[in-house]
Amino acid sequence: MTIPIEGYAVVMLKSRIQHLLDDGTLKPANCKTIADDHLWSSSFMTQEDAFKYRESLEELDINGTQGPDSDLVIVNEFDQSVTPYCEWLASTRWEKAIIAWKVGTDPQNLFTYEGWDPKVGSGLLYGTKEDMKDMEFVRVEGNVEVYRDKNSGKELFIGRTSTPVEAYYKTASEIIQKHFHNPGQPFLTGQAAIDVQEALTLLDQVLAEEPDWWNALWFYGKGHSSLGNTEKAYEAFRRAFELEKGVEAIPRELAGACLSLNKFDEAVEVNQHAASLQPDNSPTIGNLAIAYLLAGKLPEAEKTIRAALKLDPQDKINHNIQNIINDVSNGDRPQPKSFDELIKPKSIPKADKKKPWQFWKK
């Protein structure tokens, strides 16, 4: 008997897995699972999903990597390659379709899906990462990634059986970026808060698959920060910083979370690292001055804010920071014990009030 091969098909010898089918351990991977008397196959639209399925089968002691007598193989519809090499499966092209059968059996009898037509085949298109450069990501519908061809405007659908981490990350990061929050600002409410919480749910799934992806951790921290979950934001930024030391935005956001949680000494340490990455950036140096001030290191704060203003004498926010530091130094205002105290200026006209902390702007 013969079965169709579509996309990336994980094909198994039925005799090797019959005991797992009988006791219910092995179940169909998706709606594109088909079997005849000799073969059992599940098809996937991406090679990544096929590989992940193979990994799950290896946990059941199903050999999918050692040929030529493996228990399963992955057949690529587009080039008819078989991985690993095996001697028990034959395949050929039939009009626009690819079909396969167990060597030694009659290939004349076809076992297939309802409505399947060799003149149509799977209908799938092969694409490389180079091809995807012309595709614009649009949305995720369940486990289906939707892209739009920049040239034709047509939509492309990629069905996934595993978590589409890149699509989830892109969707979530775009939502969170629309609602960036900085310490001292009101936390999100209403629909904005609902949207960010949904984005965080997507990132939960991303980080379950890719726990060491610092970019996802950074946006995870920004999302929780906007909802007032400062401790979770701190944990995410801290982990991102452990993974990546060369991106200034990470210690900047981590330092902000430290200040909100009154971890002033840590904020100093982290801001020093940020300043080492961008020593000529006046906002970064100004942030370090704030950390010194809240940590009670007034001489360091005074010296650092002077350095920041030397870099950019027109920086109005750093001038405001310098005024606060001078007020504390002269005894005109008490040493602030929290970031909230710091951002409460003296009685001055409302129009002149400025938040001292400087952040990344889109």
pTM for the whole structure: 0.62
Average pLDDT value for residue range 346-357: 52
Is the pLDDT at 100 greater than 80? The verdict is: yes
Distance of CA 218 to the CA centre of its chain: 10
Confidence of residue 359 (pLDDT cuts 50, 70, 90): very low
Give the 3-state secondary structure of residue 259. helix
Check pLDDT > 80 for residue 168: yes
Query: Residue 112 half-sphere exposure, CB side, CA atoms within 13 Å?
Result: 21
Whole-number mean pLDDT of the chain?
88
Whether residue 130 sits in one domain with residue 35: no
Tokens of 177: 């970026």
pLDDT of 350 strictly over 70: no
Same domain, 319 and 266: yes
Looking at the structure, do residues 150 and 193 belong to the same domain, yes or no?
Answer: no
Q: Tell whether 323 and 288 lie within a shared domain.
A: yes
Six-digit token pair at 198? 């949904």
Average of per-residue pLDDT across 86-110: 91
What is the pLDDT averaged over residues 43-69?
Answer: 90
Instruction: Compute the distance between CA of residue 262 and CA of residue 337 in angstroms, rounded to an integer.
Output: 8
Give the residue from 207, 203, 186, 183 showing the smallest Cα distance to 195. Answer: 203
CA distances from 32 to 9, 42, 159, 160 (A): 9, 6, 11, 12
Q: How many domains does the chain have?
A: 3
pLDDT digits (tens, 9 = 90+) for 256-307: 999 999 999 999 999 999 999 999 999 999 999 999 999 999 999 999 999 9
The domain of 185 spans 173-352
pLDDT digits (tens, 9 = 90+) for 118-167: 898 888 777 665 666 677 777 777 667 777 888 888 887 776 656 678 88
Same domain, 201 and 314: yes
Does one domain contain both 65 and 203? Answer: no
- The 3-state secondary structure of 46-76, one letter per residue: CHHHHHHHHHHHHCCCCCCCCCCCCCEEEEE
Asked if residue 112 belongs to a domain, the reply is: no
Assess whether 199 and 53 both reside in one domain: no
Domain boundary among 53, 70, 102: 102
Answer yes or no: do 91 and 145 share one domain.
Answer: no
List, for residues 213-269, the tens digit of each pLDDT value.
999 999 999 999 999 999 999 999 999 999 999 999 999 999 999 999 999 999 999
* One domain, residues 157 and 285: no
Q: Do 43 and 137 have their domain in common?
A: no
| Mean pLDDT of the region 64-88 | 92
Domain co-membership, 220 together with 268: yes
Q: What percentage of the chain exceeds 90 in pLDDT?
A: 64
